[in-house]
Structure 1
Amino acid sequence: MVMRQLSFTMSEPGLALSSALPVTADHAVSGSLTEMIVGESSAIQPMQLLPLLAQCNAQQRWLMWLSPQRTLNKQWLESLGLGKSPVIHLDLCADTQLALCTKVLAAANSHLIIEWQGELTREERLQLRQQAQRSGSHVVLIQRLP
């Protein structure tokens, strides 16, 4: 089983996200952006959506979960059928979330679940959608409402 949980800031040199497969005309892959709005007391937890991304993973990409201060553990991943899938959790904060998402999508080597913090502008949504399509990444964007 491959599992990594990393705390990430935009200036941290230890995480290289540049191992992307080049997207060429011969290898054009179209990504997507799916949005979900969930209540704070919702029975749906973002981590439960990782198997959904695994089903979209014909290109054998990393599965990334970007969320604030949540943790993954082996038992959860195994119970979701992801014991052998490459999963990374990155701690997400509101101040750098757009820059982090942009960097991860530019690498074009993963599918993402993003637990967005705060308000999402029309421009940010469009930027994420375009980057997902260009990189061939499937993105599930989750917003929590009280």
Structure 2
Amino acid sequence: MFIELTTPQLMIVNFETPFQQLLQQQRPLLRKFNKAKKWQLWLSDRPMLKRSWIHFAGLDKQKVIHLANLKHENLISTIEKALQSKNCSYVVACINFLNEQDRLRLQRALLLSDTCLFLVHDDTQNIQYH
């Protein structure tokens, strides 16, 4: 994250990744989840989560798992399996496209799970049209 001071009244905050933005915006909620004795799963199609951000957010780095370089079809399947396992406090997934079939799969898995799911859109990647 870097802060660009344009004028004394205007401050522009830029985040390196959507994960950093989520950590900053949802810090109280993530800290609450951190108290549970479950994993905290972060998924993306590229490396996006830095240990320094985890430390800054006050999360237990021993509980945080970041799986990177997942292809879209593996990402949906991994989210679904994580929700079904009920071993995670929450799952954060960086995803730019969710078709109706995938959305229904995730909704079904969520109904049977006590896990929270954050789907994060990554504006920094090229948008793919399907």
User: What fraction of aligned residue pairs are identical, expressed as a percent?
Assistant: 28
Unaligned runs of 5+ in 1: 1-41
Match of 2:111 among 126, 130, 133: 133
One-letter amino acid of the structure 1 residue matched with residue 80 of structure 2: T
SS at match of 1:54: helix
| Cα separation, partners in 2 of 1:116 and 1:62, compared to 1, 3 Å | same
| Cα separation, partners in 2 of 1:49 and 1:61, compared to 1, 3 Å | farther
Aligned to 1:77: 54
TM-score normalised by structure 2 residue count: 0.64
TM-score normalised by structure 1 residue count: 0.58
* Contact 2:91/2:117 (<8 A) preserved: yes
Match of 1:45 among 9, 14, 18: 18
Distance, in Å, in 2 between the alignment partners of 1:83 and 1:105 is 20
* Contact 1:66/1:114 (<8 A) preserved: yes
Bigger helix fraction: 2
Q: CA deviation at 1:125?
A: 1.3
Offset from partner CA, 1:93-144 (integer Å, 9 cap, x none): 2131222112211211111001114x21122112212212311100001123
* Contact 2:18/2:122 (<8 A) preserved: no
* Contact 1:53/1:138 (<8 A) preserved: no
Distance, in Å, in 1 between the alignment partners of 2:49 and 2:119 is 18
* Contact 1:112/1:137 (<8 A) preserved: yes
Unaligned runs of 5+ in 2: 1-13
Instruction: Considering Cα pairs closer than 8 Å and 6+ residues apart, tell me whether 1 or 2 has the greater RCO.
Output: 1
- Provide the alpha-carbon RMSD of the alignment: 2.5
Is 1:114 the counterpart of 2:114? The answer is no
* Contact 1:114/1:142 (<8 A) preserved: yes
1:16-35 mapped onto 2 (5 Å cutoff)? none
* Contact 1:67/1:114 (<8 A) preserved: yes
Is 1:123 the counterpart of 2:101? The answer is yes
Which of the pair has more CA radius of gyration?
A: 2
